[in-house]
Amino acid sequence: MKLPSNQVGISDINTYRDCPVKFEYAIRRWTEGSEPPEAKHRDTMYGSAIHEAIHLAEAEVLTDEEAVQRAFDEFSQYLDPEDMKRLEDDLATYRRRDYRGVRTIANETEVRVPLFKVGGETIYFRGKLDRVYERVDSPGSFIHIDYKSSKWRKTEKEVHEDIQMWAYNMAIFEWWPECQSLTQVYDQLMYGAIPTRKSAAQRAQIKVWLERQVRAILNNQDPKPTFNDWCPYCPLLPDCPEPKRTAEFAAARLSAIAPPEEPDGKLVLDPDLMDVYVAELPELQKAKKAIEEFEAKVKAAIKDMPEAVRAYHGYRLGGRKSDAWTPEALRRAHEIMGDEFYALVKMTKGRVKEYLGSDKPKMEELVARAEKEARQPPVVRLGE
Protein backbone atom coordinates (compact mmCIF):
# COMPACT_ATOMS: atom_id res chain seq x y z
CA MET A 1 0.00 0.00 0.00
CA LYS A 2 1.31 3.47 -0.88
CA LEU A 3 1.11 6.43 1.51
CA PRO A 4 0.38 9.77 -0.17
CA SER A 5 3.26 12.21 0.38
CA ASN A 6 4.92 9.44 2.45
CA GLN A 7 3.11 10.61 5.57
CA VAL A 8 0.43 9.30 7.89
CA GLY A 9 -1.49 10.69 10.86
CA ILE A 10 -2.86 9.02 13.96
CA SER A 11 -6.43 9.17 12.62
CA ASP A 12 -5.23 7.35 9.49
CA ILE A 13 -3.62 4.65 11.63
CA ASN A 14 -6.76 4.26 13.73
CA THR A 15 -8.86 4.01 10.55
CA TYR A 16 -6.57 1.23 9.29
CA ARG A 17 -6.90 -0.61 12.59
CA ASP A 18 -10.69 -0.43 12.22
CA CYS A 19 -10.76 -1.47 8.56
CA PRO A 20 -7.90 -1.61 6.00
CA VAL A 21 -10.32 -1.14 3.08
CA LYS A 22 -11.83 2.01 4.57
CA PHE A 23 -8.29 3.32 5.19
CA GLU A 24 -7.37 2.72 1.56
CA TYR A 25 -10.47 4.66 0.51
CA ALA A 26 -9.92 7.47 3.01
CA ILE A 27 -6.34 8.30 1.96
CA ARG A 28 -7.64 9.27 -1.48
CA ARG A 29 -8.20 12.74 -0.01
CA TRP A 30 -4.46 13.21 -0.43
CA THR A 31 -4.00 11.56 -3.81
CA GLU A 32 -7.13 13.09 -5.37
CA GLY A 33 -6.89 16.46 -3.64
CA SER A 34 -10.19 16.19 -1.81
CA GLU A 35 -11.76 14.55 1.23
CA PRO A 36 -13.94 11.44 1.15
CA PRO A 37 -17.70 11.91 1.76
CA GLU A 38 -17.61 10.76 5.38
CA ALA A 39 -14.99 13.41 6.23
CA LYS A 40 -17.68 16.11 6.14
CA HIS A 41 -20.66 15.03 8.18
CA ARG A 42 -22.93 16.89 10.59
CA ASP A 43 -21.76 14.68 13.45
CA THR A 44 -18.08 15.61 12.95
CA MET A 45 -17.99 19.09 11.45
CA TYR A 46 -18.91 20.96 14.64
CA GLY A 47 -15.46 20.07 15.96
CA SER A 48 -13.88 21.62 12.87
CA ALA A 49 -16.02 24.74 13.30
CA ILE A 50 -15.04 25.37 16.95
CA HIS A 51 -11.38 24.73 16.16
CA GLU A 52 -11.60 27.30 13.38
CA ALA A 53 -13.30 29.83 15.69
CA ILE A 54 -10.57 29.37 18.33
CA HIS A 55 -7.85 29.66 15.68
CA LEU A 56 -9.34 32.86 14.25
CA ALA A 57 -9.83 34.40 17.70
CA GLU A 58 -6.16 33.83 18.47
CA ALA A 59 -4.49 34.38 15.09
CA GLU A 60 -6.48 37.42 13.94
CA VAL A 61 -7.39 38.84 17.38
CA LEU A 62 -11.12 38.75 16.61
CA THR A 63 -13.99 39.26 19.00
CA ASP A 64 -16.04 36.21 19.92
CA GLU A 65 -18.88 37.35 17.67
CA GLU A 66 -16.53 37.87 14.72
CA ALA A 67 -14.78 34.51 15.23
CA VAL A 68 -18.08 32.63 15.56
CA GLN A 69 -19.52 34.27 12.45
CA ARG A 70 -16.39 33.54 10.39
CA ALA A 71 -16.42 29.89 11.49
CA PHE A 72 -20.16 29.70 10.79
CA ASP A 73 -19.59 31.15 7.31
CA GLU A 74 -17.29 28.26 6.46
CA PHE A 75 -19.27 25.41 8.05
CA SER A 76 -22.85 26.73 7.88
CA GLN A 77 -24.17 23.83 5.77
CA TYR A 78 -23.26 21.38 8.55
CA LEU A 79 -24.42 23.41 11.57
CA ASP A 80 -27.86 23.42 13.18
CA PRO A 81 -29.53 26.38 14.94
CA GLU A 82 -28.36 25.30 18.41
CA ASP A 83 -24.76 25.09 17.18
CA MET A 84 -24.48 28.91 17.11
CA LYS A 85 -25.05 29.06 20.87
CA ARG A 86 -22.74 26.10 21.38
CA LEU A 87 -19.98 27.85 19.43
CA GLU A 88 -20.42 30.96 21.57
CA ASP A 89 -20.33 28.94 24.81
CA ASP A 90 -17.29 26.87 23.81
CA LEU A 91 -15.37 29.93 22.65
CA ALA A 92 -16.19 31.69 25.94
CA THR A 93 -14.89 28.60 27.79
CA TYR A 94 -11.68 28.77 25.77
CA ARG A 95 -11.26 32.44 26.75
CA ARG A 96 -11.74 31.66 30.44
CA ARG A 97 -9.19 28.85 30.36
CA ASP A 98 -6.63 30.68 28.25
CA TYR A 99 -3.12 30.65 29.69
CA ARG A 100 -1.16 33.56 31.13
CA GLY A 101 2.60 33.96 31.41
CA VAL A 102 3.23 32.01 28.20
CA ARG A 103 4.23 32.67 24.63
CA THR A 104 2.56 30.92 21.71
CA ILE A 105 4.75 28.40 19.93
CA ALA A 106 2.10 26.83 17.68
CA ASN A 107 -1.49 27.65 16.70
CA GLU A 108 -3.20 24.99 14.56
CA THR A 109 0.26 23.99 13.36
CA GLU A 110 1.10 20.84 11.38
CA VAL A 111 4.32 18.98 12.22
CA ARG A 112 6.04 16.09 10.44
CA VAL A 113 8.36 13.71 12.28
CA PRO A 114 10.48 11.15 10.37
CA LEU A 115 9.82 7.54 11.39
CA PHE A 116 11.99 5.39 9.11
CA LYS A 117 13.25 4.98 5.54
CA VAL A 118 11.95 2.52 2.98
CA GLY A 119 13.18 2.23 -0.61
CA GLY A 120 15.31 5.32 -0.09
CA GLU A 121 12.29 7.45 0.95
CA THR A 122 11.52 8.81 4.41
CA ILE A 123 8.15 7.97 5.96
CA TYR A 124 6.75 10.68 8.26
CA PHE A 125 4.29 10.82 11.13
CA ARG A 126 2.04 13.86 10.67
CA GLY A 127 0.07 15.69 13.35
CA LYS A 128 -1.86 18.95 13.69
CA LEU A 129 -1.45 20.65 17.06
CA ASP A 130 -4.18 22.93 18.39
CA ARG A 131 -1.95 25.01 20.64
CA VAL A 132 1.58 24.80 22.03
CA TYR A 133 2.87 27.32 24.58
CA GLU A 134 6.21 27.91 26.29
CA ARG A 135 6.28 29.28 29.83
CA VAL A 136 7.91 32.72 29.95
CA ASP A 137 9.32 32.11 33.45
CA SER A 138 10.70 28.66 32.52
CA PRO A 139 12.18 28.43 29.01
CA GLY A 140 11.99 24.88 27.69
CA SER A 141 8.80 24.12 29.65
CA PHE A 142 6.08 23.52 27.04
CA ILE A 143 2.31 23.16 27.35
CA HIS A 144 0.29 21.43 24.65
CA ILE A 145 -3.50 22.02 24.58
CA ASP A 146 -5.79 19.72 22.61
CA TYR A 147 -9.32 21.16 22.46
CA LYS A 148 -12.16 18.63 22.31
CA SER A 149 -15.77 19.53 21.49
CA SER A 150 -17.35 16.09 21.91
CA LYS A 151 -20.53 15.71 23.96
CA TRP A 152 -19.06 12.50 25.38
CA ARG A 153 -16.87 12.96 28.44
CA LYS A 154 -13.53 11.11 28.64
CA THR A 155 -12.22 9.92 31.99
CA GLU A 156 -8.72 10.61 33.31
CA LYS A 157 -7.78 7.01 32.57
CA GLU A 158 -8.93 7.35 28.97
CA VAL A 159 -6.99 10.60 28.57
CA HIS A 160 -3.77 9.10 29.95
CA GLU A 161 -4.15 6.17 27.52
CA ASP A 162 -5.17 8.30 24.53
CA ILE A 163 -3.01 7.25 21.56
CA GLN A 164 -3.24 10.62 19.82
CA MET A 165 -2.01 12.57 22.85
CA TRP A 166 0.76 10.03 23.36
CA ALA A 167 1.93 10.28 19.75
CA TYR A 168 1.75 14.09 19.80
CA ASN A 169 3.91 14.10 22.94
CA MET A 170 6.67 12.32 21.02
CA ALA A 171 6.20 14.60 17.99
CA ILE A 172 6.52 17.79 20.05
CA PHE A 173 9.83 16.73 21.60
CA GLU A 174 11.23 15.83 18.19
CA TRP A 175 9.89 18.90 16.36
CA TRP A 176 11.10 21.34 19.03
CA PRO A 177 14.47 20.09 20.39
CA GLU A 178 14.47 22.97 22.89
CA CYS A 179 11.49 21.36 24.66
CA GLN A 180 12.76 20.01 27.99
CA SER A 181 9.48 19.23 29.73
CA LEU A 182 5.93 18.96 28.43
CA THR A 183 2.52 19.05 30.05
CA GLN A 184 -0.36 18.11 27.79
CA VAL A 185 -3.91 19.23 28.51
CA TYR A 186 -6.92 17.37 27.13
CA ASP A 187 -9.40 20.25 27.21
CA GLN A 188 -13.00 19.02 26.99
CA LEU A 189 -14.78 22.31 26.41
CA MET A 190 -18.10 21.00 27.73
CA TYR A 191 -16.55 19.51 30.87
CA GLY A 192 -13.03 20.25 32.04
CA ALA A 193 -9.30 20.12 31.32
CA ILE A 194 -7.28 17.00 32.21
CA PRO A 195 -3.46 17.23 32.27
CA THR A 196 -1.29 14.27 31.24
CA ARG A 197 2.43 13.63 30.87
CA LYS A 198 4.71 11.01 29.31
CA SER A 199 8.25 9.86 30.09
CA ALA A 200 11.16 9.53 27.67
CA ALA A 201 10.71 5.75 27.76
CA GLN A 202 7.03 6.13 26.79
CA ARG A 203 7.98 8.42 23.92
CA ALA A 204 10.42 5.81 22.62
CA GLN A 205 7.72 3.16 23.02
CA ILE A 206 5.09 5.06 21.00
CA LYS A 207 7.58 5.80 18.23
CA VAL A 208 8.36 2.10 17.80
CA TRP A 209 4.61 1.34 17.87
CA LEU A 210 3.95 3.97 15.17
CA GLU A 211 6.75 2.60 13.00
CA ARG A 212 5.42 -0.95 13.23
CA GLN A 213 1.86 0.18 12.54
CA VAL A 214 2.99 2.06 9.43
CA ARG A 215 5.12 -0.87 8.22
CA ALA A 216 2.05 -3.10 8.59
CA ILE A 217 0.12 -0.66 6.37
CA LEU A 218 2.88 -0.57 3.74
CA ASN A 219 3.20 -4.36 3.74
CA ASN A 220 -0.54 -4.96 3.20
CA GLN A 221 -0.89 -5.37 -0.56
CA ASP A 222 -4.34 -6.97 -0.43
CA PRO A 223 -6.46 -5.13 2.19
CA LYS A 224 -9.59 -6.91 3.39
CA PRO A 225 -12.62 -5.29 5.06
CA THR A 226 -13.04 -5.69 8.80
CA PHE A 227 -16.38 -5.43 10.60
CA ASN A 228 -16.21 -2.63 13.19
CA ASP A 229 -18.26 -0.08 15.14
CA TRP A 230 -18.24 2.40 12.23
CA CYS A 231 -19.65 0.06 9.57
CA PRO A 232 -23.17 1.59 9.74
CA TYR A 233 -21.72 5.02 8.89
CA CYS A 234 -19.23 3.95 6.21
CA PRO A 235 -19.77 5.22 2.62
CA LEU A 236 -18.57 1.83 1.36
CA LEU A 237 -21.36 -0.02 3.17
CA PRO A 238 -23.60 -0.78 0.14
CA ASP A 239 -20.73 -2.52 -1.67
CA CYS A 240 -18.99 -4.10 1.31
CA PRO A 241 -19.61 -7.82 1.94
CA GLU A 242 -18.35 -7.81 5.53
CA PRO A 243 -21.47 -6.48 7.37
CA LYS A 244 -23.69 -8.90 5.43
CA ARG A 245 -21.35 -11.82 6.15
CA THR A 246 -21.17 -10.89 9.82
CA ALA A 247 -24.95 -10.49 10.05
CA GLU A 248 -25.48 -13.90 8.47
CA PHE A 249 -23.01 -15.44 10.90
CA ALA A 250 -24.68 -13.67 13.83
CA ALA A 251 -28.10 -14.94 12.74
CA ALA A 252 -26.79 -18.49 12.40
CA ARG A 253 -25.04 -18.24 15.77
CA LEU A 254 -28.22 -16.91 17.42
CA SER A 255 -30.28 -19.70 15.87
CA ALA A 256 -27.83 -22.24 17.25
CA ILE A 257 -27.73 -20.93 20.81
CA ALA A 258 -31.37 -19.82 21.07
CA PRO A 259 -33.57 -21.74 18.59
CA PRO A 260 -37.28 -20.84 18.47
CA GLU A 261 -39.28 -23.12 20.76
CA GLU A 262 -42.80 -21.70 20.51
CA PRO A 263 -45.18 -22.86 17.73
CA ASP A 264 -45.33 -19.33 16.29
CA GLY A 265 -41.52 -19.16 16.04
CA LYS A 266 -40.99 -16.78 18.95
CA LEU A 267 -37.61 -16.87 20.61
CA VAL A 268 -37.36 -18.29 24.13
CA LEU A 269 -34.10 -17.67 25.98
CA ASP A 270 -32.54 -20.41 28.08
CA PRO A 271 -31.68 -18.92 31.51
CA ASP A 272 -28.66 -21.22 31.76
CA LEU A 273 -27.18 -19.65 28.59
CA MET A 274 -27.61 -16.00 29.62
CA ASP A 275 -23.83 -15.43 29.80
CA VAL A 276 -23.55 -16.58 26.19
CA TYR A 277 -26.42 -14.34 25.06
CA VAL A 278 -24.97 -11.26 26.74
CA ALA A 279 -21.53 -11.94 25.22
CA GLU A 280 -23.08 -12.07 21.74
CA LEU A 281 -25.07 -8.84 22.15
CA PRO A 282 -22.43 -6.24 21.06
CA GLU A 283 -21.74 -8.01 17.75
CA LEU A 284 -25.47 -8.48 17.11
CA GLN A 285 -26.08 -4.78 17.74
CA LYS A 286 -23.33 -3.76 15.31
CA ALA A 287 -24.67 -6.14 12.67
CA LYS A 288 -28.20 -4.78 13.15
CA LYS A 289 -27.05 -1.16 12.70
CA ALA A 290 -25.11 -2.01 9.56
CA ILE A 291 -27.99 -3.93 8.00
CA GLU A 292 -30.51 -1.19 8.87
CA GLU A 293 -28.29 1.44 7.28
CA PHE A 294 -27.79 -0.76 4.22
CA GLU A 295 -31.56 -1.24 3.93
CA ALA A 296 -32.18 2.52 4.18
CA LYS A 297 -29.65 3.32 1.45
CA VAL A 298 -30.97 0.66 -0.93
CA LYS A 299 -34.59 1.78 -0.41
CA ALA A 300 -33.57 5.41 -1.03
CA ALA A 301 -31.91 4.32 -4.30
CA ILE A 302 -35.06 2.41 -5.31
CA LYS A 303 -37.20 5.51 -4.68
CA ASP A 304 -34.98 7.57 -6.99
CA MET A 305 -35.18 5.02 -9.84
CA PRO A 306 -37.35 5.68 -12.90
CA GLU A 307 -40.64 3.80 -12.60
CA ALA A 308 -39.73 1.25 -15.30
CA VAL A 309 -36.37 0.45 -13.67
CA ARG A 310 -38.03 0.15 -10.27
CA ALA A 311 -40.61 -2.27 -11.72
CA TYR A 312 -37.82 -4.29 -13.37
CA HIS A 313 -36.35 -4.85 -9.89
CA GLY A 314 -39.77 -5.89 -8.59
CA TYR A 315 -40.72 -2.76 -6.62
CA ARG A 316 -43.22 0.08 -6.79
CA LEU A 317 -43.98 3.15 -4.69
CA GLY A 318 -46.94 2.46 -2.43
CA GLY A 319 -49.53 5.03 -1.48
CA ARG A 320 -49.07 6.52 1.94
CA LYS A 321 -51.79 8.30 3.87
CA SER A 322 -52.28 8.91 7.55
CA ASP A 323 -54.86 10.62 9.70
CA ALA A 324 -53.98 14.19 10.65
CA TRP A 325 -55.77 16.90 12.59
CA THR A 326 -55.87 20.40 11.13
CA PRO A 327 -55.33 23.39 13.45
CA GLU A 328 -59.11 23.95 13.43
CA ALA A 329 -59.73 20.31 14.38
CA LEU A 330 -57.19 20.63 17.20
CA ARG A 331 -58.95 23.71 18.52
CA ARG A 332 -62.23 21.77 18.52
CA ALA A 333 -60.51 18.88 20.32
CA HIS A 334 -59.41 21.32 23.02
CA GLU A 335 -62.98 22.58 23.36
CA ILE A 336 -64.21 19.00 23.82
CA MET A 337 -61.45 17.80 26.20
CA GLY A 338 -60.52 20.94 28.09
CA ASP A 339 -57.10 20.83 29.78
CA GLU A 340 -56.97 17.03 29.27
CA PHE A 341 -56.08 17.95 25.68
CA TYR A 342 -52.53 18.91 26.78
CA ALA A 343 -51.88 15.45 28.19
CA LEU A 344 -52.77 13.97 24.81
CA VAL A 345 -50.88 16.28 22.46
CA LYS A 346 -47.07 16.31 22.70
CA MET A 347 -44.39 18.42 21.04
CA THR A 348 -40.84 17.24 20.38
CA LYS A 349 -37.62 19.26 20.38
CA GLY A 350 -36.97 18.10 16.83
CA ARG A 351 -40.29 19.43 15.54
CA VAL A 352 -39.91 22.71 17.41
CA LYS A 353 -36.45 23.27 15.92
CA GLU A 354 -37.64 22.26 12.45
CA TYR A 355 -40.66 24.57 12.53
CA LEU A 356 -39.10 27.58 14.30
CA GLY A 357 -35.53 27.30 13.04
CA SER A 358 -35.61 30.81 11.56
CA ASP A 359 -37.09 32.34 14.74
CA LYS A 360 -34.25 31.64 17.16
CA PRO A 361 -35.56 33.53 20.26
CA LYS A 362 -38.96 31.83 20.08
CA MET A 363 -37.40 28.43 19.39
CA GLU A 364 -34.96 28.71 22.31
CA GLU A 365 -37.73 29.80 24.70
CA LEU A 366 -39.87 26.80 23.76
CA VAL A 367 -36.98 24.33 23.94
CA ALA A 368 -35.98 25.70 27.36
CA ARG A 369 -39.47 24.96 28.68
CA ALA A 370 -39.18 21.23 27.93
CA GLU A 371 -38.84 19.06 31.04
CA LYS A 372 -37.27 15.64 31.43
CA GLU A 373 -39.81 12.90 31.91
CA ALA A 374 -39.26 9.46 33.41
CA ARG A 375 -39.01 6.63 30.92
CA GLN A 376 -38.13 2.97 30.99
CA PRO A 377 -34.34 3.05 31.43
CA PRO A 378 -32.37 1.80 28.39
CA VAL A 379 -29.74 -0.92 28.68
CA VAL A 380 -26.30 0.70 28.37
CA ARG A 381 -22.88 -0.96 28.55
CA LEU A 382 -20.68 0.12 31.46
CA GLY A 383 -18.30 2.89 30.46
CA GLU A 384 -20.61 4.33 27.78
Lowest mean pLDDT among 85-89, 216-220, 366-370: 366-370
pLDDT at 265: 61
pLDDT higher for 248 or 138? 138
Domain residues of the chain, as ranges? 4-39+99-219, 231-312, 324-384
Please give the average per-residue pLDDT across 5-20, as a whole number: 90
pLDDT higher for 53 or 182? 182
pLDDT-based confidence at 347, cuts 50/70/90?
Answer: confident
CB within 8 Å of 317: residues ≥ 6 apart: 303, 310
Q: In 220-338, where does DSSP find H-type helix? A: 241-257, 274-304, 307-312, 327-337
pLDDT at 112: 94
Is it the case that residue 366 has pLDDT exceeding 90? no
Asked whether the beta carbons of 91 and 64 are under 8 A apart, the reply is yes
Answer whether 0.85 is exceeded by the pTM: no
Q: Which residues pair with 112 in a beta bridge?
A: 126
Query: pLDDT, tens digit, for every residue of 305-329?
Result: 888 888 888 888 887 677 888 889 9
CA distances from residue 299 to 15, 29, 243, 304 in whole angstroms, order as listed? 28, 29, 17, 9
Please give the average per-residue pLDDT across 273-300, as a whole number: 76
Is it the case that residue 380 has pLDDT exceeding 90? no
pLDDT at 249: 60
pLDDT at 199: 96
pLDDT higher for 174 or 376? 174
Which H/E stretch holds residue 350?
helix 349-355
pLDDT-based confidence at 42, cuts 50/70/90?
Answer: low
Query: pLDDT, tens digit, for every residue of 251-283?
Result: 666 666 666 565 566 666 777 777 877 877 777
Query: pLDDT, tens digit, for every residue of 104-116?
Result: 999 889 999 999 9
Please give the average per-residue pLDDT across 149-157, as a whole number: 87
pLDDT higher for 116 or 96? 116
